Amino acid sequence: MSCIRGIVGFEIEVQDVQAIFKLSQNRDDKNQQSIIQKLRARGDEFSIQIAEYMEKGIT
């Protein structure tokens, strides 16, 4: 018996996308500061930007 008949296609129209940033908000201050320092130590532009976003969220 073939299961192919049970497969149906459908189309969905996306009307809204909501981005959520999870930047270790659930961590304690000491842990957050450690993550920020390690990101900065990596030295690449993306890591530094993430560290800056994290710092803005803390203050």
Predicted local confidence at residue 2, as pLDDT:
73
The 3 state secondary structure assigned to 37-48 is HHHHHHCCHHHH
SS (H, E, C) 1-59: CCCHHHCCCCCCCCCCCCCCCCCCCCCCHHHHHHHHHHHHHHCCHHHHHHHHHHHHHHC
Whether the pTM exceeds 0.75: the reply is no
pLDDT at 59 over 60: no
pLDDT per residue as tens digits for the range 20-40 = 777 877 888 899 999 999 999
pLDDT band at 1 (very low <50, low <70, confident <90, very high): low
